[in-house]
Amino acid sequence: MAVTLKEISRNLATVRIVGISPMVQHQWSEKAKKQMRDKHAGKRTKTREVRDPQAECDSAAYRCSSGSYGFPADGLKKCLINAAHKDVGLEKTLLRKSLFVHSHDEVSNLLELETKDPVMREDIVRVGAGSTDLRYRPEFKNWAITLSLEFDAESISISDVVNLLQRAGFGVGLGEMRPEKSGDYGRFQVDPEFEITVEKIKEQGRITIPTKAA
């Protein structure tokens, strides 16, 4: 007796998105993560140090191994999932297992941003029970990302993928203060001047696995 594995219809789409509002990033720095670990471990923390706004801003930006600016690939997928809904013909559960975002940097799992150096912004934020603090974060005025999206063509179509990207860019967004979080930053659209391509990912065809009879 043998079981034949049916080939999955894997397709790879190349699409470019362009920001229609600035992107604000806030990556947790190693210093901040160490302070949180020490606090959770019950270690005494040092008194407040003199702050370096530019250093805080620089450490809040995502960087690829090459040194270029980036954005987390899983953050883009979460954006797409949050834009999906059964009322628009695409359920979140289906999307989670039918669409995957390929990162440009395997080490950091980042997508490479097509952008120039950001400007530093200073924002007043709420911390804890009603207290406030200042945050220094990078703001990318103009940005774009060329995406490689793998999808199961038997479950969703390239039209579904592109329209979902457009919906996600309109109402969910990427980064800090995005529409999903009651802001207006990090919005994007599918680049109308970019030629979208789709190619089928070749597999070995059907695979037959021998099994022992019960």
What's the pLDDT tens digit per position in 11-31? Answer: 999 999 999 999 999 997 566
**pLDDT for residue 205:** 56
The token pair at 159 is 């039209």
Q: What are 177-181's contacts with CB under 8 Å, separation 24+?
A: 177/24, 180/79, 180/82
What does the pLDDT read at residue 50? Answer: 82
> Residues 111-126: what's their mean pLDDT?
94
pLDDT of residue 100 exceeding 80: yes
Instruction: Give the C-alpha distances (Å, rounded to integers) separating 172 from 175, 176, 178.
Output: 10, 11, 7
Q: What is the pLDDT of residues 146-200, one digit of tens each?
A: 999 999 999 999 999 999 999 999 999 999 999 999 999 999 999 999 999 999 9
Domain extents for the chain? 11-34+51-201
Residue 34 or 137, more confident: 137
53-71 burial, b at 16+ Cβ within 10 Å, e below that, comes to: eeebbebbbbbbeeeebbb
Q: In this structure, which topology does domain 11-34+51-201 adopt according to CATH?
A: Alpha-Beta Plaits (3.30.70)
What is the signed CA dihedral for 115, 119, 124, 125, rounded to 10 degrees? 30
Interatomic CA distance for residues 84 and 40, integer angstroms: 36
- The burial class, CB within 10 Å (0-12 / 13-18 / 19+), for 146 is middle
DSSP assigned state of 38? H
Judged by average pLDDT, the poorest of 64-78, 79-93, 97-111 is 79-93
The pair of structure tokens assigned to 67 is 């040194």
